[in-house]
Structure 1
Amino acid sequence: MSALATAAQIDSARDARLRYRAGHVAPTAGVAPGLTQANMIVLPRDWAFDFLLYAQRNPKACPVLDVTDAGSVSTVLAPGADLRTDLPLYRIWRDGQLAEEVSDASAAWAEHSDLVAFLIGCSFTFETPLLKAGIEVRHITDGTNVPMYLTDQPCRPAGRLRGHLVVSMRPIAPERVADAAMISGRFPAVHGSPVHIGAPERLGIRDLAKPDFGDAVRIEPGEVPVFWACGVTPQAAVMASGVPFAITHSPGHMFVTDIPDAAYHV
């Protein structure tokens, strides 16, 4: 990570995290432009190795940016941040079922003394380069959450974990699809290039107007739906595997880091 964030960028990330700590809830697409955002899954240490292996076997969907020590609530991706409070919205999972969504995960976090947090690359990271290249990102334009879909594509299982790939979708003008693929492909640590272009039925997606997570977005005539691997994939594994306890980000509500996007550009 040779690239360095500017003082102004770091201030914008810290300001965002402080707003979330104070209770502000909103999707993070477009927040702190130029700085990397991350998905999060938090598991008891007994499940941490299984998930680390799951991520290693499914790197497109689960590119790991940091793993905390058991019991730690901090990350090198944002010194001084608190992973229990500094995301806008969390999901608490019990026995593979969504138990609640909260803006402060401190109480749930306190139930286990050995929790391990995984910070996973997020496709929001390459949205700023897309915008700079003149490629519209519809959910940012319309102020909504990104649409995400559970596919019929199985991930490679690991230990007790199994599940299917989740993808995010952005409608792209046909003449810019190749550019979008090339630009995002330069960020392999945050999902990289698309996993599928067009023909959503080939992923088992029946209706683009009914995403499994996030919000539906406008698709203008002629636009092509482009699909990227998504960091909500671990939540699909939690559900499919009946994981006894987990904390995750709520889809679209990411952890805003102090790391510039350029650090993950190749």
Structure 2
Amino acid sequence: MVWLLPGEALYCGPPLELDPHSGAASCLAIGIDEPLQVTVGGTTARLRSAFIPPRLTCQVTTTGRIAAFFLEPGSAPERSCSAMMRPVGAIRSDHQRERELAELSGALTDHDVQRWVALATGDDGTTRDERILAAVELLSANPDLSAAHIAAQLHLSPSHFLRLFKRDTGTTLRRFRLWARMLSAAAHIADGADLTAAATAAGFASSAHFSSAFHAMFGLSPSKLLSTPLEIRPWQHEAPEERSSGAS
């Protein structure tokens, strides 16, 4: 099962035989049934939970089920999630709630997703420049916007904007734009579009370009992912009043 929302995606299910890859988003991986084998730079560690930052080439393998939570680089949830783990070389491990996350992932339903995300991310109170928050919203709605256009909207020079963007998100504008397009393509697929239509709607030059970029980011082709028994669902956070009222 895959749940989608702007800036985040959560997969729970069997291992997908991923090749080594480098993502545009950060990823929290949880071994549901057993620890994961996480390989970075030729070194493999056996970990129950791993936080993998963007642009780091790695490979995650397991014979059990896995939960993979992709987070918008530099976002408050991403920073909080990272802060709940300890550094292990270039990645982080031992999430404070890894046991609960693994148990909840074993039979995750739509009703439980909100709780899963809350456990994974916590809240460390970190903030970032409001102008970069606005830029992220603009790019999520339209990944084709240029740096010059966004900078002008924010009353910044393009060079200063790009420095702030990388500082606050931890990734480049180009990589973030790719992440936004991936989420857009996934949303179109969830609505019933085929790979070609989804790639075009998301702004990729062709379905081949989309497939190549998807494999580089996630370690498998989109056609292989879709050939597995998989359901993709848009997902929205519950409103605060809904949580307080106990609505489900």
Q: Which has the higher contact order (CA 8 A, sep 6+)?
A: 1
Verify same fold: TM over 0.5. no
Q: TM-score, normalised by structure 1?
A: 0.23
Q: TM-score, normalised by structure 2?
A: 0.24
Which structure shows the higher strand fraction? 1
